[in-house]
Structure formats: structure tokens, C-alpha cells
Amino acid sequence: MKVKWTMLGMVVFFLLSVVMTSCFIWQYRMPKLKTAVVVKQVTVEEMCPRFPEPVPLKHPITSLRVALEKIDVLLRSSVHTTKLPAISAIVVLNDSVLWNGHFGKKNITDPSSSAPNEYTVYRIASLSKIFPTLMLYKLWEDGLVDSLDDPLEKYANNFTIKNPLGKSEGPASSSVRTLRSRSPALSLRRMASQVSGLPRRLRSTNLLWSGDTQSALILLQDDVLVADPGTRCHYSNVAFSLLANILAQKVTGTDFESWVSENILEKLRMEQTGFSLTPDIQRQMALGVYSNGQLAPLYNLGWYRPAGQMYSTTADMAKLMMALLGVHAGTLLRQDTLNTMMTPVLRCHSGYFANSTGTPWEINEQFGYDVVRKDGDLDGYAATLSLVPRLKLGLVVLMAGVRPAEQDIVSQAYSYLIPVVVNAFRDTQQMLKPPPDPAPYIGFFTFRNMTFYEIKVDSDGVIVMQQFGPQVDTTVPSNYRTIRLDYLQDRVFRVVFESPYPCKLKFNSASVSLEAQDRQIFNFYVFNKKASEKNRTDPVTIAADRESAAALPGASRHYAAVLTSPLDLHPSVGFSPAVLVTESGAIAVLSMWPCLPPGLTAGLLAAATDLVDPAPMTKLRPDHRHGVNLDNVRKLRFEADLYLLYGYNFSHGSD
């Protein structure tokens, strides 16, 4: 019996071996896939400049037209006869309206109703919160508000509220051990940024509450903050109504709506934007509806009017977007004020409806750009004003009905727009400004005798800087060695990397970020007589320089050569000494190739030394390795001057 089971096991093992071997042979004889060479495509994000400068575009641009057609299809398909009968939208780029579209019907109850247009009025709901924010920043810019971080108590001394979740109440400690004062807990900026911790609405009220500001402050005295100020994103209508009404009463001495009309709407000529839904305005409106198609009443929000009462049109919203983008500088706010207003305040928790919050923005990122937007939803209406400040791009969508729940049509629209606008800016030839007189800047410069730079004039008069030298020749591809310099003012330029520069330039195992260097400042510093920190910017004239140079035996000829043509200095040397420049011309040798003849090197350095701080020739001892012993002329601070010559990331030197 035992032998029988042994034989059976051997048979089973043999059969399994045959099956496994057959499978292996079958697998081996199957046709093999050809090995494909995968070529990595350079993406938009890898090209430089990654964030190109918004420049005027020459239309038509085919890719941009296609993107706008996609937005047209997107919004047209979003119209619903019952729950979203009307949509109006407009796109601005720089100071121009790029596209506008209007879909559906103004009046759902009238079969013959016409389509909306750019002058059709919609309620804009929480887009109204932009206006208390503009008021705050305008009063701050004008000096009527000392600081954006002033505590609310400064303007409403009877304001109190319980804060059980934090320890930021009360004055900052006056102990000498305190390193810095605690920032105000409930500040004006935090109120305008949805991080004040104030409740969404006043206790026992709704958006139709018709009380006054003093009554609101009394209600808050027995209320609590829902979050410690500045620590959490929390939406609050109370914060904006309180901010608007208190600033108007305590700082401007007028009511909020009058101030907005006089200081914002009239300045921007927003003639169809306001607060009061008069019979004339109602005749121009698209009728708002609920999701079941029922007409929505036009509620008056009472004390909460600053947080959501306003109405507007796409034509007026386009004017507001351009003002916020700063394309007409100073129309509403200065550019530096607008930059502050567009800066994110706090990154929000995952449960909030935006990645970050701003004043008064909800901020999300698309394609590496901050999309700054304000959404609003009120009975029968929905609206979004959105901006991409770095691209000077804006989109407003106004809706009569319920916002589509199945997709974010604004984000979808930007998924079409942003890539093509970025590529259009990158592909556009940049208009760089040449200096009035390029002569003082032309010459050869070096960084520690390792990397060399020739600055010359391009065919269009723009200054270009070409890198060369042993290390550059072996590491940097030839088409990435020339950098263009955009003239800003006397001795100040801006570095510009143009296509086809990558954002990261590889050097063997290392890489350099050109994205970080693009648009940085390149500054020529004046070389003065004392080379001291105190007198560092005193200019010297070329006449005085020549007199000083001529006083040194054998030096005037060489120095004059530096002034006229660096390459004529010594024909046998492939590169000339590096020089600093003044407003009137090159005046001093900074460093040179080690292979320069010692006598010539010493003579040139003696000339430079005499120009800066006269020193006896006997102190200059030639050294074949470094050209000269710098210990004896340390007061020249050669390396410090050389570092200062380049205002961006070539070097970071000190004294």
C-alpha cells in the first residue's frame, strides 16, 4: 500500500513538471514587445521663465481662440432651463476685454425673453465683501488707519467677545523677558481675511436682521469666538459687516454705502453697480431662481448689506478686475497696496473650501499660479470674481440660478486659459530697453578668475552678457551662455532669460535654478576713491582717473588701453583684466588671468590702487599665482567689489 501511494505521488509530480515546463516554453516563444525609447517631453513648467512677464500680445493667437471657444461651450452647456436659466461671463487680460459670453434667457417666465448681455444686472452676493476690504486698504493707504493689524477695539472700544479657545486676549506682557509683543488678536486684517474667529452670523439673527452696529456689539458681548484669531479659516458675515460699518462711522464719518459709491464706484465708473434694488434696476435684472425653477425674492439684507447686498454687471466687474490687477496704476490703490491685498494670509484646513484665505479671497493653485477668487451665493443668484495676478488675467461669471454642483466651471475655464496665456507670454518677443549710452558698461569681467563675462551691445542696442571660461565651456551648453539685460535706470538692469532656457540648468550632477534668477536686479556699482563703506557711492570722474594713472611711471599707457579697448591690453593673452565701471567709463582693474606678465600686472594694480587710495609701488609684490599679493592692498577689497558687481545669484560675498 505504501509503495502504491509513493508511485502515485511520483506520477503527479511528473505531470506538474510537464505542465510548468510547457508554460515556460510557451511564454518564451511569445512575440516580444519592442523596446521603445522613451523621450521625455519638456513640459511648460520646466521651461523658463516659468512665470513669464505679462506683456502686450499680438492677436489673433490661435491657441487662445481655441481656449475661449472651449469656455464658450462649457458655459453654454451649463445653462439649465429650470435651475440656471442665465449666465454672463467676461475675461480680461491686462487692460483689455479678451472675451465675453452671455447664455440663456433673462426672464425664465417669458418664452420670448432675450439673452442677457454685458449690461444685464445680477446680484453678486458675497462679492460684496470685496468692497469693505477695498475700504480698509484705501483708508490704510491714505493714513487714516494706522495699521492693517490694528485691533478692532481701537475703533470700537465697547467691543468684547469671549475667547475660550486661545490665550491671545488681553494686553501683551510688559516683562523685559518678552522678546516681542503679541500681535493684536482680532485685527482688521483678520476680519477681512476670514480668520477672525467671529461667528458666521450674530446669535439669534439671520441675514435679514435689521439692527444697527451698536446692537450687534451688544450681542457679541455674550457670544464666543469659534476659533482663536489667526489660527483657522472660518467664514464670517459678521466680520465684514462689522468692519464696514465701524470703519465708516469711526474713521470716515459717513455711512458705508455712500463711501463706496463716492470712492470706488464713481472712480471706476461702475454705473450699474450698487446696493439698492430700485424698480429701474430690477427691470434690467436677470431673474433669479431656486433649483426647482421658482422665482427667488429680492431680499434686503439689512445690517448684513456690506457682506452680500450688492448687484452689478459683467461690464462693471471687468472695470473692477482691471483695477485690482493694477493695469491702470493708481486708479484705486497703489501697486504695492494691491500686492499686499493679493497676498495669502493663512493656509486653510482640509475641510475649508479653499487652500488658502486672503483679504477677502479664497485662493487655490492651478498650474503653479495662485487663482485669487471670491465666490458668492444668495437666493436665486451665484457669482464668482477671479484673478490670476501674475498673469494679469481675470474672469467673472454671474449666474441667475443655482451654481452647477457637478463641476467648478471657473476652475475648468482656467484649465483652458492659463496654459495658453503662459505660452503666449513666453513666446512673445520681449521688448527690452537699451541703456541711453552703453559705452560705460562694455568690457570684460571675471568671478575669481574662474568664470568670465563679456558685456557687449546686441544688434537691437540691448546689453547682453556672455559667459565663457574653462569651467563654463565644459559645463554650460553654448546656447545657454548669453543673458540679456533690461535697462531700468542708470547702472541698474534686470536679468532676462528668454526661450529656450530651461528652469533648471544642469551642470553634471548639480543644477542651477534660472527660474530664481530670472527678473532679478543686476547693478553696476561705482568704484570710488577711498573704497570705504561710508564713501562707497562717491563717483569719480574719468579726467581725475587719468591724471592719477598718469602719475605712475609706466602705468598710464596700460590704463588708457583698458579704457579704450580691453583686448588691446596684451594681445598674447586671450582674456583681459576685469574692470569696474563708473558713470563715465571703466576706471580700475579688478582681477586678471594668472598668466599676465608680473610687471604688467603690478603696474595695472598700482594704477588702480592710486585711483582708490594711493600706496607706494614698493608694496605691490608680483606673485605669479595670483597676479599680486593682495595682503598689501587689502583696503581695495577686491572680492567685495567683485561680488557687488553682480546683483544676483552669481555670488554672495562680504567684506
Give 79-126 as a DSSP string: -BTTTB-EEEEEEEETTEEEEEEEEE-S-TT-TTPPPP-TT-BEE-GG
pLDDT at 584 over 80: no
Claim to verify: residue 186 and residue 309 sit in the same structural domain: yes
Choice among 321-330, 499-508, 622-631 with the minimum mean pLDDT: 622-631
Q: What tens digit of pLDDT does each residue of 131-165 get?
A: 999 999 999 999 999 999 999 999 999 999 998 88
Claim to verify: residue 407 and residue 479 sit in the same structural domain: no
* Residue 33 falls inside a structural domain: no
* Residue 565 falls inside a structural domain: yes
Q: If you write DSSP's letter for every residue of 251-291 in order, what string do you get?
A: IISS-HHHHHIIIIITTTT-TT-BS---HHHHHTBPPPB-T
Q: What is the pLDDT of residue 129?
A: 98
pLDDT at 281 over 60: yes
| Region at 296 (left for phi over 0; alpha for psi -120 to 50; beta for the rest) | beta
CA dihedral (318, 323, 329, 334) in degrees, to 10, reads -170
- Half-sphere exposure of 280 toward its Cβ, with a 13 Å CA cutoff? 6
Choice among 76-85, 411-420, 549-558 with the minimum mean pLDDT: 549-558
* Residue 36 falls inside a structural domain: no
* Residue 543 falls inside a structural domain: yes
Band of residue 248 on the pLDDT scale cut at 50, 70, 90: very high
Burial label, 86 (beta-carbon count in 10 A; 0-12, 13-18, 19+): buried
The pTM of the whole model exceeds 0.85: no
Q: What is the pLDDT of residue 655?
A: 31
Domain end (from 427, 457, 486): 427
The mean per-residue pLDDT over the stretch 43-66 comes to 80
CATH number at residue 213: 3.40.710.10
Claim to verify: residue 149 and residue 228 sit in the same structural domain: yes
* Residue 188 falls inside a structural domain: yes
The mean per-residue pLDDT over the stretch 538-553 comes to 33
Regarding predicted confidence, which is higher, 22 or 182?
22
Domain end (from 369, 395, 427): 427
Q: What is the pLDDT of residue 370?
A: 96
C-alpha cell read off for 435 = 541703456
How far is 435 from 442, CA to CA, in rounded Å?
11
Claim to verify: residue 200 and residue 303 sit in the same structural domain: yes
Q: What is the pLDDT of residue 649?
A: 24
Q: What tens digit of pLDDT does each residue of 238-247 get?
A: 999 999 999 9
Q: What tens digit of pLDDT does each residue of 292-302 get?
A: 999 999 999 99
Claim to verify: residue 621 and residue 522 sit in the same structural domain: yes
Q: What is the pLDDT of residue 592?
A: 35
Regarding predicted confidence, which is higher, 517 or 338?
338
Band of residue 613 on the pLDDT scale cut at 50, 70, 90: very low
Regarding predicted confidence, which is higher, 332 or 623?
332
Structural domains counted in the chain: 2
Claim to verify: residue 310 and residue 372 sit in the same structural domain: yes
Which residue range(s) make up the domain with 149? 66-167+182-427
pLDDT at 229 over 60: yes
How far is 382 from 404, CA to CA, in rounded Å?
10
Task: State which amino acid sits at residue 411.
Answer: S
pLDDT at 590 over 50: no
Q: What tens digit of pLDDT does each residue of 129-139 get?
A: 999 999 999 99
C-alpha cell read off for 308 = 452680500
Band of residue 50 on the pLDDT scale cut at 50, 70, 90: confident
Band of residue 477 on the pLDDT scale cut at 50, 70, 90: confident
How far is 262 from 256, CA to CA, in rounded Å?
10
* Residue 280 falls inside a structural domain: yes
Regarding predicted confidence, which is higher, 231 or 524?
231
Q: What is the pLDDT of residue 547?
A: 37
pLDDT at 596 over 70: no
The mean per-residue pLDDT over the stretch 111-127 comes to 96
Q: What is the pLDDT of residue 619?
A: 28
Q: What is the pLDDT of residue 446?
A: 65
pLDDT at 232 over 90: yes
Claim to verify: residue 353 and residue 461 sit in the same structural domain: no
pLDDT at 544 over 70: no
Burial label, 379 (beta-carbon count in 10 A; 0-12, 13-18, 19+): middle
Task: State which amino acid sits at residue 243.
Answer: L
Claim to verify: residue 439 and residue 423 sit in the same structural domain: no
Q: What is the pLDDT of residue 478?
A: 78
Torsions phi, psi for 331 (to 5 deg): -60, -40
Choice among 64-68, 404-408, 519-523, 616-620 with the minimum mean pLDDT: 616-620
Q: What is the pLDDT of residue 495?
A: 85
Q: What is the pLDDT of residue 548?
A: 37
* Residue 552 falls inside a structural domain: yes
pLDDT at 274 over 50: yes
Claim to verify: residue 276 and residue 320 sit in the same structural domain: yes
Regarding predicted confidence, which is higher, 19 or 296?
296
pLDDT at 637 over 50: no
Q: What is the pLDDT of residue 125?
A: 97
Claim to verify: residue 75 and residue 195 sit in the same structural domain: yes
Claim to verify: residue 501 and residue 405 sit in the same structural domain: no
* Residue 537 falls inside a structural domain: yes
Average pLDDT of the chain is: 76
Claim to verify: residue 445 and residue 393 sit in the same structural domain: no
251 close to 244: Cβ distance less than 8 angstroms: no
Per the document, the length of the chain is 655
What percent of the chain is modeled with pLDDT above 70? 68
Q: What is the pLDDT of residue 42?
A: 43
Burial label, 638 (beta-carbon count in 10 A; 0-12, 13-18, 19+): buried
Cell 467676461, located at residue: 90
Q: What tens digit of pLDDT does each residue of 484-524 get?
A: 899 998 888 888 877 667 777 776 677 777 776 777 887 77
DSSP state of 354: S
**Per 3-state DSSP, what percentage of the chain is helix, strand, and coil (rounded to 5)?**
35, 20, 45
Q: What tens digit of pLDDT does each residue of 569-579 get?
A: 222 333 333 33
Cell 520681449, located at residue: 430
Domain end (from 361, 396, 427): 427
Closest by Cα among 331, 386, 326, 322 to 358: 386
